[in-house]
């Protein structure tokens, strides 16, 4: 349907409509964050949250407790990079409930290790393996557990062993705090 009226697009100079105006310079986008390679065993930086208002609030010390003990690590195994982190007590208890049905079986240890890996896992090769369905996704751990159960035991064991090492570092750091 043609009209005699000029549209917004008709008024734009040709240079603003051409494909070259939508091209990104190659040098700015050489590596995506998901493609970045990490060194095996490299600890990832923990994001620090700073809010000046918390300095005047007596409950600011409690905010610090929420992050005390949070450690992250990049694990390289079988040509893949797994980002893991230490778990909160609530997350550990949630794992225990998740694998409760396996409690009296000979594979209870493997089920527990699988649950810990599912809870601690943040990314695989820079991608989040299971996306949350919303800000309060109560089934996220169960869905991550179902995904990790599809992996072979050797991979789960390798990532779990690295989680145990990370948790040991956490315990050592807590022991150092006791000395202060």
Q: How many other CB atoms are there within 10 angstroms of residue 104's CB atom?
A: 7
Whether the model pTM is above 0.85: no
**What is the chain's percent helix, strand, coil content, to nearest 5?**
50, 10, 40
List pLDDT tens digits, range 42-95: 555 544 444 454 455 555 555 566 677 888 999 999 999 999 999 999 999 999
**What gap in Å lies between CA 48 and CA 109, rounded to an integer?**
34
**What gap in Å lies between CA 145 and CA 75, rounded to an integer?**
19
Domain positions in the chain are: 41-179
- CA diameter of the chain: 83
pLDDT level of residue 178 (50, 70, 90 thresholds): confident
Residues whose CB is less than 8 angstroms from the CB of residue 158 and which lie 6 or more positions away in sequence, other chains included: 75, 77, 78
List pLDDT tens digits, range 108-133: 999 999 999 999 999 999 999 999 89
**What gap in Å lies between CA 169 and CA 143, rounded to an integer?**
28
């Amino acid at each position: 349907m043609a009209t005699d009226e000029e549209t917004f697009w008709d008024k734009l100079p040709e240079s603003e409509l051409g494909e070259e105006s939508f091209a990104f310079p190659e040098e700015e986008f050489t590596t995506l964050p998901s493609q970045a390679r990490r060194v095996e065993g490299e600890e990832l930086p923990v994001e620090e949250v700073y809010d000046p208002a918390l300095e005047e609030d007596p409950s600011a010390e409690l905010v610090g407790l929420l992050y005390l003990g949070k450690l992250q690590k990049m694990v390289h195994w079988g040509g893949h990079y797994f980002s893991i982190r230490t778990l909160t007590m609530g997350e550990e208890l949630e794992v225990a409930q998740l694998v409760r049905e396996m409690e009296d079986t000979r594979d209870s240890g493997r089920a527990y290790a699988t649950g810990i890996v599912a809870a601690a896992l943040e990314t695989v090769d820079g991608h989040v393996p299971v996306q949350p369905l919303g800000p309060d996704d109560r089934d996220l751990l169960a869905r991550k557990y179902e995904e990790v159960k599809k992996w072979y035991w050797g991979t789960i064991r390798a990532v779990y062993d690295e989680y145990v090492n990370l948790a040991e570092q956490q315990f050592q750091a807590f022991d150092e705090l006791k000395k202060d």
